Amino acid sequence: MSPAARQRPAPGRRAPQAPADSLVGTTLELEVGPVAHGGACVARHEGRVVFVRHAVPGERVRARVTDGGAGSRFLRADAVEVLSASPDRVEPPCPWAGPGRCGGCDWQHVALPVQRELKAAVVREQLARLAGLDLPVTVEAVPGDTDGLGWRTRVRFAVDAEARLALRKHRSHELVAVDRCRIAAPGVDEVHATEARWPGAGEVEVVASAGGDRTVLVSPAQGAHVKLPKVPAASSVLLEGAERPVRGRAWVREQVAGADWRVAAAGFWQVHPGAVDALVAAVLEGAQPAPGETALDLYAGAGVFAGVLAERVGVTGTVVAVEGDRRAASDARRNLHGYSHVRIETGPVDRVLRAGVGVERADVVVLDPPRDGAGPQVVVGIAALAPRVVAYVACDPAPLARDLRHFAAAGYAVRTLRAFDLFPMTQHVECVAVLDRVEQPA
């Protein structure tokens, strides 16, 4: 079923009705308080919390409720009129950003340096509330974007009822057709995918890799036949479910420190061009892997951290990479085939750790889990190997904070925490926490 069909009630059925106590559409006048995790700010109305998007701390706004009712613990709302503006407010650079428009960017209405201050405040709050940690946090810019724009090397579009590429509204299946995405990297725009029509497609992802590849991945709408337009700038076109690419190849070249890495076109890779180099540098600086050591790369993906660890520990050392996704593990095998001292284990990280990774102990552990974090079982599995140092790469500060609490219980303390603005204009932030093993009392 196409996204457009999902928005229309089925024949003979009524459209879903809002609950009887719904406050959706109600306008409230609010004093905007501090930033909250998730891209909104906190306000209060008659004693109840209201999470307000498109506002800035310290403002007074008129906000329209978008979610919640009279019996809800909290409400969600969009600031639709600014009554008293913050000096940090700016004109959004994208015409599709704002209340009721594209939901991809949370902070286009805030000056870029202040966006980073807001993200730092969120990280500090999550660490304090969930892990009991009081740590200084500064969100660092990385090379590869201009004024927070033109950085996203992978953009996934939905397809609307007129076969145009579109982006979704916040917390909604509703679509907004766009001329182009302002945070997309120049290579994405070179494909001119938004100028074409995509009959039968449900989603279209455009990839502009650091290695110069321009790839389009098309997911058919349910039960539909896709009619592909001509996209001359794309080096490869892939149709999900097809045995072979329509054109080109099924993988792209990415780069770390100038070296090429092979990654499945539909696989995971950081979307900011400066991301991987920044994260690798932070991990190596914090972990200081040495020749002859044993290192683990958990949630290894295409094997980047395993590769740099292999260089540092040398042939007298050992690296074990663990990855649950078979496609990513296959990429890792190709990328790491030249390292005889690297071993790749395929399977869920918690299960592989429980079964044993072939080493009795490790010196260095690097983990880069998905957004939900590693979880207590993985933390226990890591602690059982007694590494001297753990480098934890996290894309969400809340699961990171929860896992740091588990690490503290297992005898590890945070030495440093760095945060990086890998997703300008959005609420997302990437962190690298370096933990040392605390000597247990005799």
As a whole number of angstroms, the distance between CA 335 and CA 267 comes to 14
Tens place of pLDDT per residue across the chain (442 aa):
333 333 333 333 344 445 669 999 999 999 999 999 999 999 999 999 999 999 999 999 999 999 999 999 999 999 999 999 999 999 999 999 999 999 999 999 999 999 999 999 999 999 999 999 999 999 999 999 899 999 999 999 999 999 999 999 999 999 999 999 999 999 999 999 999 999 999 999 999 999 999 999 999 999 999 999 998 888 899 999 898 999 999 999 999 988 899 999 999 999 999 999 999 999 999 999 999 999 999 999 999 999 999 999 999 999 999 999 999 999 999 999 999 999 999 999 999 999 999 999 999 999 999 999 999 999 999 999 999 999 999 999 999 999 999 999 999 999 999 999 999 999 999 999 999 999 764 4
Residues paired with residue 177 on neighbouring β-strands, in sequence order: 166
* 214 SS3 class: strand
As a whole number of angstroms, the distance between CA 102 and CA 177 comes to 9
Catalytic residue among 94, 105, 395, 431: 395
Residues paired with residue 259 on neighbouring β-strands, in sequence order: 256
Is 94 tagged catalytic? no
For 3-89, CATH number?
Answer: 2.40.50.140
Given a contact cutoff of 8 angstroms between Cβ atoms, the answer to whether 374 and 383 are in contact is no
Output the pLDDT for position 200.
98
Given a contact cutoff of 8 angstroms between Cβ atoms, the answer to whether 116 and 421 are in contact is yes
Beta strand 201-208 with 154-159: parallel, antiparallel or unpaired?
antiparallel
Could you give the count of Cα atoms lying within 13 Å of 71 in the half-sphere of its Cβ? Answer: 3
Output the pLDDT for position 15.
40
Which residue spans within 104-174 are E strands per DSSP? 139-140, 154-159, 165-168
Buried b (16+ CB within 10 A) or exposed e, 5-16: eeeeeeeeeeee
Predicted structure pTM score: 0.93
Token pair of 93 as six digits:
């650079």
Neighbours of 33 (CB within 10 A): 17
Output the pLDDT for position 19.
65
Residues paired with residue 214 on neighbouring β-strands, in sequence order: 208
CA distances from 114 to 86, 381, 425 (A): 11, 39, 11
Output the pLDDT for position 233.
86
CA dihedral in degrees (79, 82, 88, 92; nearest 10)? 60
Which residue spans within 266-317 are E strands per DSSP? 294-298
As a whole number of angstroms, the distance between CA 40 and CA 423 comes to 16
Output the pLDDT for position 440.
64
Q: Is 368 annotated as a binding residue?
A: yes
Q: In what order do the strands lie in the sheet with 48-53?
A: 27-31, 60-67, 74-84, 48-53, 40-45, 35-36
As a whole number of angstroms, the distance between CA 53 and CA 38 comes to 9
> Angle at which helices 112-131 and 397-409 pack, to 10 degrees?
30
Token pair of 330 as six digits:
């296959």
Q: Is 299 annotated as a binding residue?
A: yes
Residues paired with residue 219 on neighbouring β-strands, in sequence order: 203
Output the pLDDT for position 1.
32
Output the pLDDT for position 202.
98
What is the homologous superfamily of the domain 272-437 according to CATH? Answer: Vaccinia Virus protein VP39 (3.40.50.150)
As a whole number of angstroms, the distance between CA 17 and CA 15 comes to 6
* 326 SS3 class: helix
Q: Is 277 annotated as a binding residue?
A: no
Output the pLDDT for position 243.
86
Beta strand 342-346 with 318-323: parallel, antiparallel or unpaired?
parallel
Burial class from Cβ neighbours inside 10 Å (0-12, 13-18, 19+) for residue 84 reads exposed
Query: In degrees rounded to 5, what are phi and psi of residue 370?
Result: -70, 180
Given a contact cutoff of 8 angstroms between Cβ atoms, the answer to whether 303 and 297 are in contact is yes
pLDDT in tens, 65-120: 999 999 999 999 999 999 999 999 999 999 999 999 999 999 999 999 999 999 99
Output the pLDDT for position 10.
36
pLDDT in tens, 248-267: 999 999 999 888 999 999 99
